[in-house]
Chain A
Amino acid sequence: MTRFTPRFYVAAAIVAAVLLFGVLGPLVFSGHELGTVVGGLYDHPSGRLWLGTDNIGHDVFTNLMYGTRTSLVIGLVAGALATLIGVVVGTLAGYRGGALEEALMGVTNVILAIPSIVVLILISIALGTRSTVAMAVVLGVTSWPWTARAVRAQAASVRTREHLDVARLSGAGTMSLICYDVVPYMLSYLCMAFVLQVSSAVLNEAALSMLGLGPSGGVSLGIMLHWALAWESVRTGAWWAFVPPTLLLTLLAFALLMLQSSLDEVFNPRLRRFLRRRRPAATPTAEAA
């Protein structure tokens, strides 16, 4: 029986709120079109423009909504891709073992050894224009190794369990075994891995964007920060240009990580410490020996 702690609900609520903001925000707060000049450069927040304007006169609030959406899309797609590749590679390696495992793990280790930021920078530069999808694919394809490694360890341990022997004896094929017996066993771990991949994808995209290698032509939280830094918003004190995207990014990253650690607590009881215990029996029962 899994028991969800209060932390889990808080984290899930925050993530849901950010999701809603990014996905439904533009529909709800339909005011300004993305990319239209609505004011001067770095206008202060006012009743009309809740978060003022940025360095080209665009509405920061609109940018924030669309930026959140882009960041989320990239994060989710890249996270899903990375988790998928990682699971496939890891399960195959862990379950089959032998030469296949050695080869796959060799590739994984080499990719792991090279720092991801280096590969991301190099690939992003090599691409001429970077669409949102391309960025998501690049992020997903470079960050699957750690998931593969962990999944392989899990798969290798599942391989020797008895219920697999039973399934094998009853004639199940390899693919069916993997789908119905191995993967469900690791489902809890896969959930946590996916959450981690999403959060790392969001943060990596933001880092790349701040370096100047973000999705070209679009708005993301990282790109908003890039503009803010490149166009002197700090020195001119235009806090509305860089504080809101920072807060949103922080909130998202924090909530995702808290989600992952509370899932960890749920699935791994030994880490549970703060669950309220029921009050112990205070009065001895009336039975006498």
Chain B
Amino acid sequence: MSTERTADVATAGTSAGPVLTASGLRAAYGPTVAVDDVALSVGSGEVLGIAGESGCGKSTLAAVLSLTARPPLSVLGGELTVDGERLDLSGGRKPPRTWRGGVVSLLPQGAMNALSATAKVGDVAVDVVRAHRGRVPRGVALDLLADRLDALDLPRRVIGAYPHQLSGGMRQRVVTVLSTLLDPRLLIADEPTSALDVSTQRALVDLLRELVRRGLVGGIVFVTHDLPVLRAVADRIAIMYAGRIVETGPTADMVDDPRHPYTAALLSSVLVPEPQVRRRRIGGIRGAPPDLADPPAGCRFHPRCSLAMDVCTTTPPVVGDAEAYATCWWTKDHPDEPLERSL
């Protein structure tokens, strides 16, 4: 399946093709494989959300995609194609420095603490620009930053500020601007809204949308455990469980008609302040995520799944096409039956 995607890219070869195509991504902490053969694609101007419980491997995936994996995390294999350019990650090969920030950029978790306490925002921006474009005069780099701040409706005063002089939400937005200063093709946002209050979350999401709309980034991978945010920001969603992608598809379709029991269980355990939820019981998912050092055989969710069958101990098939699929035996047998009623 993933090889078909790469072939598509090769024959298409236009800038309207997917921003990112990743296949065979494997990464481990020592002997524990945290990301197990993951394949993704992000279209141009698209926001792909990656959701899952804590410990499912999504932050690891974010580190792998943004090329910032470092010991004890080791990348075992995989390949990334960004805007047609291929990067082979197998064999522990180090990616070129300029890819980070220039082609793929990271918006880190806890971005509020991502800036050095003794560096002004403007100085960091100058360093970033100079790291990618050689000896650029300070004024030119600062102008770039100022233009970017104006375009995104942020105050110019942050240029001369130290991190502790800015509020948490402002720091988050400043870091977002720094991450996208060089117009990277792909922005990996790792839990950007986790530590923010709701109104600041909204401001950040609006900022991200604005970046995509203006073409300052080609596409965004939005990693989070917060499903309701994804409903507002993501065009497509991929659900991760125990290091694997179990379902992916357009947001609206997945929310209305999930094809994997785990997705359905996740959706039903989300507390959303909407009227129709009032009368429904919020269920949790019994059990706990598996130990990745010794995952269950076959479908990794089957010990917790209320629809599990004997055949689930063997590797589940991929049901669907490259754009929208679920890896589940039950779905294969009941392709048209909605999951919510059977749970």
Contacts and interface: CB of A to CB of B under 8 A. Distances in A.
A284 interface: yes
Interface of B: 1-2, 26, 28, 30-33, 36-37, 39, 72, 74, 76-77, 244, 315, 318
Given A289-B37, A289-B39, A281 B76 contact: yes
A48 interface: no
A278 B31 CA distance: 7
Interface of A: 277-281, 284-285, 287-289
Contacts of B74: 280
A285 B36 CA distance: 9
Top 5 nearest A-B pairs (CB, nearest first) are A289-B37, A281-B31, A278-B30, A280-B30, A281-B28
Given A284-B77, A287-B315, A289-B37, A277 B72 contact: yes
Contact of A285 (B2, B33, B39): B33
B34 to A, nearest CB: 11
A174 B77 CA distance: 58
Given A284-B77, A289-B37, A277 B30 contact: yes
Contacts of B37: 287-289
B28 A280 contact: yes
Nearest to B297: A287
A284 B26 contact: yes
Contacts of A281: 28, 30-33, 76
A255 B323 CA distance: 63
26 contacts: A277-B30, A277-B72, A278-B30, A278-B31, A279-B30, A280-B28, A280-B30, A280-B74, A280-B76, A281-B28, A281-B30, A281-B31, A281-B32, A281-B33, A284-B26, A284-B76, A285-B33, A285-B36, A287-B37, A287-B315, A289-B1, A289-B2, A289-B37, A289-B39, A289-B244, A289-B318
B312 to A, nearest CB: 14
A287 B26 CA distance: 12
A16 B72 CA distance: 35
A288 B28 contact: no
A284 B90 CA distance: 12
A34 B229 CA distance: 80
Contacts of A278: 30-31
Contacts of B28: 280-281
A95 B117 CA distance: 29
Nearest to B72: A277
A277 B29 CA distance: 10
Contacts of B77: 284
Contacts of A287: 36-37, 315
